[in-house]
Chain A
Amino acid sequence: MPGEKANPKAPANVTAGKKPAKAAGVQKKAASAAAPKTQPLEMVQPAAAAAKPKPKIATVSMAGCFGCHMSLLDIDERILKLVELVEFNKSPIDDIKVFTSRCAIGLLEGGCCTDENVHNLQEFRKHCDILVSVGDCATMGGVPAMRNMITLKECLDEAYQNGPTVYNPKNLMPNDPEIPLILDRVYPCHEVVKIDYLLPGCPPSADTLYAAITALLFGEPLKLPYELIKYD
């Protein structure tokens, strides 16, 4: 854990200004009406950004494959521009494990498969002004949700006890308290907490992600051309 002390109650590190516009093309969740008080984002211009505190972004991978994060890294050299614009807080990108301040944007990869995912997601809701479900796992459950057809008991039985390739003479089930408990099914993020935006794709392409993030940062309407939201 980095030296900074986690302070979940810290206010958002953004100054009052223009409210982020509704991003067209990104589905707006009606639920956001009841989301925690949203601290508006300032219009951050790259030049001025160095002087003023930068808006913070947090990201997390829950029941996902990290593909969405890889896609974020795929923005290539634009990541330098992004780093000028924002500061990453809790995220696998900088390996900050707990929130150290309030964030403007939280990017969510993956749905909720375990109690730890739920806890993480709730922490994100508490600490971020805007939550974006990124990718099909976060928005719909995705590949992990394929297990939703089967009861958890059967899943564990197949995986650890009676599956055809299992060798487990003592018939043990992994059960260390460190191991999160698995939920009855995989939940998309918006079934657990209120989500502001959904960004579909598996994963959404780097261009889509970049367009969405910068639109949110600058409070501009999001224009996603057909190629960016076409998936077949």
Chain B
Amino acid sequence: MDETLKKAVEEICQARGNDAGAMMDIVRQVQARFRGVSEEAIDLIAAQCHVPRVDVAGVVSFYAFLSTASKGQVVIRLCDDVIDRMYGAVAIAEAFSHELGIEMGQTTPDGKITLEWAPCMGLSDQAPAALVNDVPVTHLSTDKARHLIQSLRRYMDPSRLVERLGDGNNAHELVGAMVMNNVRKVGPVIFAPLGPGEAMKKALAMSPAEVIRDVKTARLRGRGGAGFPTGIKWEFTRAAAGSKKYVLCNADEGEPGTFKDRVILTEQPDLLAEGMAIAGYAIGADEGILYLRAEYAYLRRFLEQVLQRRREAGLLGKDVCGKKGFNFDIRIQMGAGAYICGEETSLISSCEGTRGDPKNRPPFPAQKGYRGCPTVVNNVETFCCAARVLEKGAGWFAQLGSPGSAGTKLLSISGDCLRPGVYEVEFGIKLTEVLRMAGGQEAQAVVVGGPSGQIVSAADFERPICYDHLATGGSLMIFGPQRDVLEIVEHFLDFFIEESCGYCTPCRVGNVLMKERVARIRSGKGELADLGYLERLGQTIKTASRCGLGQTSPNPMLSTLRKFRSAYDSRLVQQAGPFQSAFDIQAALAQAKEVQGRASVLFSGERHHR
């Protein structure tokens, strides 16, 4: 038994009252300290927190930022987003590999540096990007990659990789990141200034029911993707039985191509905190949790300071804003790298210290959420909108945007365009207009809403961006005429295969089958019947999956089957015979031939059996 490990684990667990509900923090800390959560550490944590070992092991194996094997002192996570790939991430990976003498997924023999792929880290507008421990490194090139490794070899200090600070609060002493906000269009809701407590004071002058009424009148809908009316959600939570309630802010921002929450967290954290406090007041909660994705850990100290400053100003804590009896505070819960944790019930599982598995619904979080208590889960931007509704009035908010979709929306625009970045636009804006603003008029295809959204072609560019037409949680990825639509589809499927929690078969197995068939078509071995198969399989996965991940993962394939049919048709085997074109007998026999040292008698190799 390793005594240092034992002592450290005991301390870490005791500091959190040996509470298994704090498992995420416990394992994250053990990981940070020992660069891994070894089998031995798992045993120790389980004993210390009085839970079965499998509970701990399940958490460690679930999240990308945790591992049983010990990682390097420095972990380089190269973003594997489709946009990063377009901008040369593979060449960067090769440069890293070459410079370090290891493959992706390996650690240098001296145990110093680990090299990995990671899904979108919310930096697609400054791709290719990587995280070096917590430090984001943007606009990589092969050249910079080599320098990066040389610097690390020399100093082993990721913070030295930041050569120039980003704009706005990225340059704040507690952030110190080279990340750029790239805010290209400022709107009246999210990016307008707000005096401290301005929104909260107005809310606290009303009754909670009136606050909810205002949010409803403003016709505010969720900005995280699903678009559920926020006022109704708050009303349900308020009405739900139970004295203890929670406000949960979803800052997991995992949908590839989305990075607008990162910019809100950097530039408007006070607006967010006001929104959360207002939600707390409305539903009768005294505790808020900000679930921050592990990729944004570099913002943590800054956000902690914002919260502390608000406490000192009486904007958080006891008797908030002098309102007797209204207590509300916010704490930050770190994630550990899992896209599925953006799904609200997974988010709750993760906050509770378990694997980030989605839960069955009903009961909905509004009835039974975090630790079984009624919980409001909203996106970062939704809380900000709510704060603005209270500050400026429901009528003011409702007149912005389009009839079915009130207010503004932040768009994270990346890909083949001249001005990638964040745009605050009014709902109802046409996609062509957005493309013009971003300098992406050449677009062949636009992915609206990320991999779980849809891929649209020029025929849809005149449609408006709103909940009823082109709905998006914020992600808009632009693809020029030189891009292969099927490659994008296949890449998205890889993403879903990797990120599926594995609970239900349609998603766990279906995504793999879907990807295999798309790959078959891409390789020129697909047949017409494969398109029908894909259509049916996609529909099955959508209907039979348990949560939003599987219910949306076939979207890129299904939408391109409709909108980019020729990309599929042009690759099909033209004259399909009675045998399956995709079956390759010589490939199937390659291993046997090698072991046995002879060719097949029946399939000699030269003769083509058709």
Contact = CB atoms under 8 A, between A and B. Distances in A.
B600 A193 contact: no
Contacts of B596: 173, 175, 181
A181 B595 CA distance: 10
A79 interface: no
Interface stretch (B167-175, B496-504, B601-609): B601-609
Contact of A177 (B578, B587, B601, B603): B601
Contact of A118 (B527, B533, B603): B603
B577 interface: yes
A152 B591 CA distance: 7
A194 B580 CA distance: 6
Interface string B471-503: 000000000000000000000000000000000
Contact of B589 (A33, A35, A183, A193): A183
B588 A194 contact: no
Contact of B578 (A36, A115, A119, A173): A36
B578 A181 contact: no
Interface string B569-592: 000000011111011010111111
A190 B577 CA distance: 13
A70 interface: no
B591 A122 contact: no
B529 A30 contact: yes
A87 interface: no
B140 to A, nearest CB: 36
A191 B533 contact: no
Contacts of A193: 578-580, 583
A227 B603 CA distance: 43
Contacts of A47: none
A231 B528 CA distance: 33
Most B CB within 10 A of own CB, among A185, A190, A194: A194
Contacts of A151: 591
A33 B529 contact: yes
Nearest to A112: B588
B6 to A, nearest CB: 37
Given A35-B578, A126-B578, A184 B590 contact: yes
Interface string A22-38: 00000000110111100
B595 A119 contact: no
Contact of A191 (B578, B580, B587): B580
B595 A156 contact: yes
Contacts of A190: 580
Contacts of B98: none
Contacts of A156: 595
B583 A192 contact: yes
Nearest to B527: A34
A34 B597 contact: no
Contact of B595 (A34, A125, A152, A183): A152
A116 interface: yes
A5 interface: no
Contacts of A192: 579-580, 583
A39 to B, nearest CB: 14
Nearest to B532: A30
Interface in A182-232: 182-185, 187, 190-194
A115 B583 contact: no
B574 to A, nearest CB: 11
A153 interface: yes
B358 to A, nearest CB: 26
Contacts of A116: 602
B593 interface: yes
A174 to B, nearest CB: 9
B249 to A, nearest CB: 43
Interface in A107-161: 115-116, 118-119, 122, 125-126, 151-153, 156
Contact of A115 (B533, B587, B594, B600): B600
A191 to B, nearest CB: 6
A127 B582 CA distance: 21
Contacts of B589: 115, 181, 183-184
Interface in B517-537: 527-529, 532-533
A31 B582 CA distance: 13
Nearest to A183: B588
B154 interface: no
Contacts of A177: 598, 601
Contacts of B528: 33-34
A196 B117 CA distance: 43
Contacts of A36: 578
Contact of A119 (B533, B577, B580, B603): B603
Interface string A63-106: 00000000000000000000000000000000000000000000
Contacts of B597: 175
A35 B285 CA distance: 65
Contact of B579 (A122, A173, A182, A183): A122
A187 B583 contact: yes
Most B CB within 10 A of own CB, among A34, A126, A152: A34
Nearest to B603: A115
A193 B529 CA distance: 13
Contacts of B592: 115, 152, 181-184
A187 B576 CA distance: 20
Contacts of A126: 578
Contacts of A153: 591, 594-595
A31 to B, nearest CB: 5
A181 B585 CA distance: 11
15 contacts: A33-B528, A34-B578, A36-B578, A115-B602, A118-B602, A125-B579, A175-B598, A180-B602, A183-B589, A184-B589, A185-B588, A190-B580, A192-B580, A194-B579, A194-B580
Given A116-B602, A175-B597, A184-B589, 11 more contacts: A30-B532, A34-B529, A34-B577, A122-B609, A125-B578, A177-B601, A180-B602, A181-B593, A183-B589, A193-B578, A193-B580
Interface of A: 30-31, 33-36, 115-116, 118-119, 122, 125-126, 151-153, 156, 173, 175, 177, 180-185, 187, 190-194
